[in-house]
Amino acid sequence: MMRAVLAAALGAVLMLGCSLDPFGFLASSDVDERFNDGLSLPAPTNLSLTPPYSFVVIADTHVHDAESAARVASLSLKLIAADEFVLAAGDLVQNGLRSDVILFTNAMREATAALGIPWFAVPGNHDLYFGGWTNFREHIGRSIYSFSAGALRVIAMDSANGTLGKKQYDWLSQTLASRSEAHCIVFTHFQFFSPAITETQQYTDIEEAAYLMYLFETRSVSYVLSGHSHADVHHMINGVSYLTVANHPASIVRMTVTATNMTHVVLH
Amino acid sequence: MSRFGVRFSRACITLCIAGFFTVPCFGATNTNVSWISHDMEAYAALDVNRMLGVSFDTRVLYRALLWDHVRASAGISFTWMSPSLDGYFLSVRYENILDTGLGAGVSFIADIFPASLKAVHGIIPSLSWRMQFFFAEFGVALRSFTADSAAIWNIFHYASPVFETLFHYQIGCTFAFFNEFWTLTASFGNFDEFYIGNFGTIMLRMRNEFLVSAPWRVFADVTIRPSGSLALAGTYAVIFICIGGRVTL
């Protein structure tokens, strides 16, 4: 008994000494809270773009120190003049810490500065750890939004809890129904399907995923872009491309938009 | 899907449903023989999903134990929201190998989403270990996502664009109180009879079952499926509440 107490006490001291906080992984915010918070934050402005143009998608940068931030900044080497914006599909930082979010945003500004193009992001599960939503909201902004980019409607879907929640689902349905652009993409963090037997997290409920896929089919969404699994995976289902982007810098995806269609290429 | 495929799937479903209802009738007339023991349960289920809202299901399950070792079971689920059949399963296991409590078997599950014209079909080979107070099951779920609306009803349709291999697990314990009047079963895992979850789906399930008057039992189940998984917010995605009865035939 005494040994068990001593072992527990020693464990607690070691965890405190190492600044480990196991409860921090469970302290993330709720998707409805983020939806409500987002209403008070400025919405992204529409981009006046004329096809053809391209944009770049990255995912899972997991910034946690200067070195990982430098890898994000090195994205500038891969951007080309036709690129008009960059999308980051979640897990931007490792633990949701304020210092890491600042490192990430500075790195993204550096990466896009030469072209002077905007970038947009959605949160992943890592961005919410340790109360990370506060930092995301302050330094990046809304987690749920949409904007027009010429012939394209871009929808940012917050799946960082593994579910959309009712409010976001209703908003998504309404946004898809009211769009007037020729093309539409959705970008989010969690992928719908598991690429490996050990994949512990993905969009949680397969029935929810099925409903979302039905919605995307009936509303003619061209691409659903996600991250999380650190693997490049592409499924084409009933006319919708479900493209999971591997972690940056292992992969980036360049999407090309023309007046009549959209294509993608995975760059390593 | 070919015409033959449609006919084949309809024939399979018809056979499953016909077998489901005729086997217990056959067995019920033979309750005194030792080669079979079986029971049937039916329940009403309230499915509360954060995104999709509330739905009501009715489910019927039949389980037979043949020669003390071979467990065959089947079940169907009907949703009142569409309304439509929304799932069925077939399962065969060999249990208690050499009196060790170990078992092996295979299940076929069709989880159908009629409103979205999608389904997942799974073949799940697994190993199990069942002792008096403890049970566990581990295996591999081969889950096929079907987006072909003509094929969603066919439990044997696996020609789909997405085929996933998922770790399949469940661990639980059962306690009986008051001379088995009350049986409490608690488990966590990533599946139930009609559902094939992701590896990270941690489904907490609790069943209270009461022996009202032999052979009749009533039970109430509560299942919580949190969103995400370990190291994600514990905000629930689905709460599943069932109330029903079970009769030993």
Helices and strands counted in chain B (H then E): 1, 14
- Note down pLDDT in tens along chain B; length 249 residues: 444 444 444 444 444 444 444 444 444 444 455 789 999 999 999 999 888 899 999 999 999 999 999 999 999 999 998 889 999 999 999 999 999 999 999 999 999 999 999 999 999 999 999 998 999 999 999 999 999 988 999 998 888 889 999 999 999 999 999 988 999 999 999 999 999 998 888 889 999 999 999 899 999 999 988 876 555 555 778 899 999 999 998
- CB contacts < 8 A, A to B, total 127
Interface with chain A: mutation pick from B121, B144, B191, B235, highest number of A CBs within 10 Å: B235
Strands A183-187 and A152-156: parallel
Spatial separation of the C-alpha atoms in residues A224 and A214, rounded to whole Å: 12
| Model pTM score | 0.86
Q: How far apart are alpha carbons B221 and B210 in whole angstroms?
A: 12
Read off the amino acid at residue A64. Answer: H
Homologous superfamily, domain B3-248: Nucleoside-specific channel-forming protein, Tsx-like (2.40.230.20)
Q: How close B89 gets to chain A, by Cα (Å)?
A: 17
| Residue of higher predicted confidence among A189 and B229 | A189
**Least CB–CB distance from A28: residue in B50, B52, B233:** B233
pLDDT reported for residue B228: 64
Is residue A137 very low, low, confident or very high in pLDDT (cuts 50, 70, 90)?
very high
pLDDT, residue B35, reads: 87
| Percent of chain A at pLDDT exceeding 70 | 90
CA-only gyration radius of chain A, Å: 19
Model pLDDT, residue A265: 96
Range A98-123 average pLDDT? 96
Select from A163, A197, A201 the Cβ nearest to the Cβ of B51.
A163
Tell whether the model's pLDDT for residue A204 goes beyond 90: no
Cβ-Cβ contacts under 8 Å, B140 against chain A: 197
Domain residue extents for chain B: 3-248
Paired tokens of A231: 């693997």
* CB-CB under 8 Å, B166 with A201: no
pLDDT at A53 over 70: yes
Three-state DSSP class for residue A65:
coil
Once rounded to an integer, what is the mean pLDDT over residues A200-217? 89
Residues 6+ apart with CB under 8 A from A74: A111, A249
- Check pLDDT > 50 for residue A101: yes
User: Which amino acid would we find at residue A189?
Assistant: H
A78-82, A135-139, B24-28, B118-122: range with lowest mean pLDDT? B24-28
Residue A243, beta-bridge partner list: A225, A234
User: Which residue type does A85 have?
Assistant: F
Cβ contacts of A28 on chain B, cutoff 8 Å: 232-233
Residues paired with residue B113 on neighbouring β-strands, in sequence order? B118
CA distance A183 to A240: 11
